[in-house]
Amino acid sequence: MSVMALMGCQWGDEGKGKLVDYFAEKAEVVVRFQGGNNAGHTLVVKGEQIILHLIPSGILHPKKLCVIGNGVVIDPAVLLEEIALLKSKGYFKDDSQLKISERAHLILPYHRLIDQAGEAKKGAGKIGTTGRGIGPAYADKASRTGIRFCDLKNPEFLKEKLGKAIDEKNLYLTRVLESEAIDKEKMIEEFLGYAEKLSGYAQNTSLLIHQLIQKGKKVLFEGAQGTMLDLDHGTYPFVTSSNTVAGAVSVGSGISPRLIERIVAVCKAYTTRVGAGPFPTELKDELGERLRERGGEYGATTGRPRRCGWLDLVQLKYAIRVNGITDLAITKLDVLSGLDRIKVCLGYKYKGEKIPDFPAEPEILDNVEPIYKELKGWKEDLSSVRKFKDLPSSAKAYLEFIQDQLQLPLLAVSIGKERSQIIALKEVFKGKSRG
């Protein structure tokens, strides 16, 4: 197998970045296919924490080709900051290591203003957006008024297109949202500067990825956010503005779905979500706080504290079905160390009756009663464990229970923040590329 997609199967923040970083050592190409800088992948390499928002995590490995696909919305200012940060830390020494789809859409300053002002107007009805302009950028894409990465290659066309867009958005900002207007000349000058610095990364990445796969290159697709934040399949309206499920790999990168051979679910050994929205297994007590502190559960992008709760197998089975998952990777098993008993949600009751699947209606999900099974916990520190057989018996039993319930093979288990703190149970990529 040479083509693999790594999907978050909870509400995001599952530890995908660390696993992508780990698997990228065996891969040759890493592709990001959706979302924007509202996502953050936190990695710890030799004790140093690095947070990436747009560039694929494979960039931390020399000679790995990193691709930002057409499904991503890109804030040029954030991208340049990230490039500068990586270079300052000794990474990304070769600019040819990064390719960006010419079809990817840009996030403009007015997108951020619209996002923030629109959320402020909702009052108690806020959905918890990061205010990074992601939703408005995707809205412009859908309404066919967006500005794309390929536009950076033609400064005169870019200048004309920006001028018209700013005039239109300023009317909306000032008259509808009662917000400040954009300085037209300043913004045009700013983006002409971005064009000069970034246009060289633009490429037909759909063709590039297809050709690399045909050559047998080992390609890893890196998801952002998680299944339950998917625009169609998540806990709407408390979702992100893009599709985060495996089907988006094809749409957001421009390759056939038939080329994806392995789809890996990444989930924590418990559950978290950030922002508003229903969360059936949430722990609003000292135990929830304990998980938050031990797990460092604070958003990589916003710093917001994450809500914590028990592992929810109803939610995971739903995510596995809509993604077509083939393998399972579990993160943060070490956070559960020290607990006498651990609960796992096996089902939901609503108004006294068990319901058959994960409900679409947030008002139902907000009022379900989780059906739990208790398992024995463990006290041992897992940080130095590198083989499955060396885990405490209760930890192994917990993982085996999850595997049995989900009917999926376990690919890897993470037991700490460092790159080295991963227990691999199966070979990630098989075979050699053909040149």
Residues annotated as catalytic (active site), given as ranges? 13, 41
CA distance 187 to 185: 5
Q: At what angle do helices 184-198 and 155-171 cross, to 10 degrees?
A: 140
Helical ranges in 50-204 per DSSP H: 76-88, 109-122, 134-142, 155-171, 184-198
Which three-class secondary structure state does DSSP give residue 23? Answer: helix
Q: Which of 153, 174, 151 is nearest to 161 (CA)?
A: 151
CA distance 216 to 343: 43
What are 59's strand-pairing partners?
none
Maximum distance among all Cα pairs of the chain, rounded to whole angstroms: 66
Contact 358, 315 (CB under 8 A): yes
What are 105's strand-pairing partners?
73, 148
Residue 31's H or E segment, with its range, is strand 29-32
